[in-house]
Amino acid sequence: MTALDTRVNPAARAEAPARFGIGELSARTGVSARSLRYYEEQGLLSPDRTGAGHRRFDPEAVDRVLLVQRLFAAGLTSTEIAPLLPPLLGRSDGGADGISSLRTHRRELEGRIARLRDTAEILDEVLEELAGAR
């Protein structure tokens, strides 16, 4: 599955209310209300507000939250995710910048993995030496 394969079933949307609260968004995505409030603080979600100040989300917020979850799982921070969301959701033409950023992140990740493999090899050598000394 790719990051953009997080779309919910359009038929389910037709039956759902046009806008819904944070509890409903939490239920639809499996993400806690606390995390959703954090996403809002970080600029990853922008709900409308009722006159009483209650958050109201549109159905597209589900896709956005699922995409944010995938990007967090890929090791990106909220600061890195925020500028990627519009192009990934088709709301701007900054897609090339977003792809470049993701490729840079992946190269950095590969570098960390290589360093961790080197560390594991060193530990294996030390363990072999210790086992041989007994």
The per-residue pLDDT for range 39-52, each reduced to its tens digit, is 999 999 999 999 99
Average pLDDT over residues 48-76: 94
Write out the two tokens for 52.
């009483």
The per-residue pLDDT for range 70-97, each reduced to its tens digit, is 999 999 999 989 988 888 887 776 667 7
Q: How high does pLDDT run on average in the chain?
A: 86
Q: Is 105 exposed, middle or buried (0-12, 13-18, 19+ CB in 10 A)?
A: middle
The confidence score (pLDDT) of residue 12 equals 46
Write out the two tokens for 7.
């779309």
Asked whether residue 2 carries a pLDDT value surpassing 60, the answer given is no
